[in-house]
Amino acid sequence: MKTSFSLFAIFFVTAICGFFALPAQADEARQPSDYFMEQWLAGTVGGLLTGPAMERLTVFLYCGPEEENPSPEKALCQGVGTIFFRYAFYVVGIPVGVSTAILLDGLVHGINGSIGATINMSLAGALSGVLVALLLDRMAELFIERTGFDFLLPWIQPINTLITVFWPPMLSSLMATLAFESGAKFKDEKLSAKMHWNWTAPVFQIRF
C-alpha cells in the first residue's frame, strides 16, 4: 500500500509539473533568472525519478510486492531494503537527477551556469532534506505517543510519506537552482532578446 501510494504521488506531481512547464513563445528580452521556476521544477522532477521512484521500484523488484501478512523473511527484506535503498538513492540518486535536469534545462535555453556549484548544492540540499524529513517524521511519532492521539495515525502516516518523498528533491533542486543561477549568462545574447518562455496554464500565467 505504501509503495503504490508513494509511486502514485510521485508520478502525479511529475505530471502536474510537466503540465505547468508547457512553453509559449514571446518577443521580449529575457534574463537567465526568468527560468528559475522552470529549472526548480525540472530539478524536482529529476530528483523524484532518480530518488524516491527508483527506491520504491528497486525494493519492489528485490523483495516483491507488499502483502498484508508477509513472511518474516519478506518483512525483513522490505524493512532493511527500504532503509538501505532509500539512503542510497536519496543521497546519490536525487543529486544526480536534480543536477542533470537543471543543467539540461540550461543547455536547452542556452544558459551558462555554474556546473560545479549546481552539483555540490544538489548534494547538500539532498542531505539536508533527508535530515529534515527524518526529524519531522520523528516529531510526529513522538507527538502521537505522548498525546495519545492514536486516531491521527491514519492521517499522519501519509503526510510523513509525502514529506519523506517530496521534501528532499524539492530542497535539493531549490539549492541547486540558486547555485546554477549565480552568475548565469546566455550563450547568445541576441537570441535571448528575441524569444523567451512563459509558464502558462489555461487560467493563469506565472512570471518569475
- Taking 80 as the threshold, does the pLDDT of residue 7 lie above it? no
Task: List pLDDT tens digits, range 160-199.
Answer: 888 888 999 999 999 999 999 998 899 875 444 444 444 4
- Say whether pLDDT at 37 is over 50: yes
Identify the domain containing residue 41 by its residue range.
2-21+31-183
- 147, containing H or E segment: helix 115-147
For residue 26, is it within any domain?
no
The per-residue pLDDT for 8 is: 54
Q: Which three cell numbers stand for residue 12?
A: 502525479
Residues 6+ apart with CB under 8 A from 51: 89, 90, 93, 94, 97, 126, 168, 169
**192 located within any domain:** no
pLDDT tens digit sequence for 150-159: 777 777 777 7
Bridge partner list, 206: 199
198 in any annotated domain: no
Among 164, 146, 179, 24, which residue's Cα sits nearest to residue 94? 164
Say what percent of the chain tops pLDDT 90.
38
Residue 27: the pLDDT is 37
Cα distance from N-terminal residue to C-terminal residue, the chain: 38
The pLDDT, as a whole number, for residue 200 is 40
Tell me the pLDDT tens digit for each residue of 88-138: 899 999 999 999 999 999 999 999 999 999 999 999 999 999 998 888 878
| Range of 11-15, 78-82, 91-95 with top mean pLDDT | 91-95
Q: Is residue 168 part of a domain?
A: yes
- How far lies 81's CA from each of 2, 14, 58, 91, in Å? 14, 25, 9, 15
CA 127/CA 135 separation, integer angstroms: 12
- The answer to the question of residue 64 being in a domain is yes
- Chain mean pLDDT for the chain: 78
| Inside any domain, residue 72 | yes
Report if residue 207 sits inside a domain.
no
In a domain, 176, yes or no: yes
186: part of which helix (H) or strand (E)? strand 185-186
pLDDT at 201 over 50: no
Q: Which of the four pLDDT bands, split at 50, 70 and 90, describes residue 29?
A: low
Model pTM?
A: 0.74
Q: Total structural domains in the chain?
A: 1
